């Protein structure tokens, strides 16, 4: 069932979204060559505890961690690992879901470790741009297919990348995964019509090679590219409104000013970013 959120609910999701964005701000302070991906998990857990947030991924269908940390050819759902040491030039995707007072936020961000190769930087730039192109389609009256169509055309037709099909965006609130499913491929004018008050995620996963995923990992979670190409992902939680799409997990409210739901987000974001940076000090 798809629920349309009230202003009160959206404001509560803003708070959760700002808290999640704060986590990503903290990660930026210490991610570097030589640390293990487990350090990211440790930081997230400590930060969530400090702000009173619940790590919603822990226990979800048996998953044991607060974060997914996927590196290079890993598309998504990589476990944070003590023995996986990050190297100069790696491409790391950190995805998590948290809740505060029962209100959810979901966001993934990609990080280049040290100095990445120009072709990887291009992959990151194209993927991030495709995220915002998809978000711009999230207006009342448009359809789900409009989101995927612009992302697929830009990433595959214009840039020659692979647009992952096996994993998609989704509705969010009152649980982590709600209807509707939000593919990042598709056709204009097809699919469910978007309405004011819908809260969804847009989260393109874009590969340097084929769009196909290898999901044969024994863990039952980790997905890699089928051809060994590298993969990038960016994800925001947003709300569809009559004034356009409003991002609830922005890491840069100034740059995303046109996407802000109201002035409360900046207040929340400044508060949580400060805490995240304080927690990150011990991980530098």
Binding residues for substrate: 77, 177
Residue corresponding to tokens 């840069």: 252
Cα distances from 103 to residues 98, 99, 175, 227, in angstroms, run 8, 5, 8, 38
Known binding-site positions: 77, 95, 106, 170, 177, 203, 235
Q: Around Cβ 51, how many Cβ atoms within 10 Å?
A: 17
Residue corresponding to tokens 């830009």: 154
Strand partners of residue 112: 91
Q: Which two structure tokens, joined as six digits, stand for 266?
A: 């900046």
Known binding-site positions for a divalent metal cation: 95, 106, 170, 203, 235
Q: Which two structure tokens, joined as six digits, stand for 57?
A: 């991924």
Exposed e or buried b per residue across 90-121, where buried means at least 16 C-beta atoms within 10 angstroms of its C-beta: bbbbbbbbbbbeebbbbbbbbbbbeebeeebe
Q: For 220-268, give the DSSP string.
A: S--EEETTS--EEE--EEEE--TT--EESS-S-TTTTGGG-SSTHHHHH
Phi, psi of 73 (to 5 degrees): -80, 0
């Amino acid at each position: 069932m798809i629920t349309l959120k009230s202003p009160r609910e959206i404001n509560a999701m803003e708070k959760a979204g700002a808290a999640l964005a704060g986590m990503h701000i903290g990660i930026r302070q210490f991610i570097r060559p030589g640390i293990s991906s487990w350090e990211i998990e440790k930081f997230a857990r400590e930060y969530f505890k400090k702000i009173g947030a619940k790590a919603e991924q822990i226990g979800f269908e048996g998953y044991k961690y607060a974060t997914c940390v996927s590196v290079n050819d890993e598309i998504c759902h990589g476990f944070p690992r003590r023995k996986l040491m990050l190297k100069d030039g790696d491409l790391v995707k950190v995805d998590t879901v948290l809740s505060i007072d029962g209100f959810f936020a979901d966001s993934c961000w990609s990080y280049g470790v040290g100095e990445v190769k120009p072709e990887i930087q291009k992959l990151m730039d194209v993927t991030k741009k495709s995220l915002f192109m998809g978000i711009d389609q999230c207006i009342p009256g448009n359809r789900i297919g409009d989101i995927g169509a612009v992302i697929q055309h830009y990433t595959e037709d214009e840039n020659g990348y692979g647009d992952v099909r096996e994993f998609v965006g989704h509705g969010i609130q009152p649980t982590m995964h709600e209807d509707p499913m939000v593919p990042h491929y598709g056709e204009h004018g097809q699919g469910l019509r978007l309405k004011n008050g819908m809260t969804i995620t847009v989260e393109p996963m874009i590969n340097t090679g084929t769009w196909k995923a290898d999901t044969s990992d024994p863990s039952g979670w980790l997905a890699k590219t089928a051809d060994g190409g590298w993969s990038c992902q960016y994800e925001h939680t947003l709300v569809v409104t009559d004034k356009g799409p409003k991002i609830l997990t922005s890491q840069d409210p100034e740059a995303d000013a046109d996407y802000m739901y109201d002035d409360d987000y900046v207040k929340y974001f400044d508060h949580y970013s400060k805490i995240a940076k304080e927690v990150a000090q011990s991980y530098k």
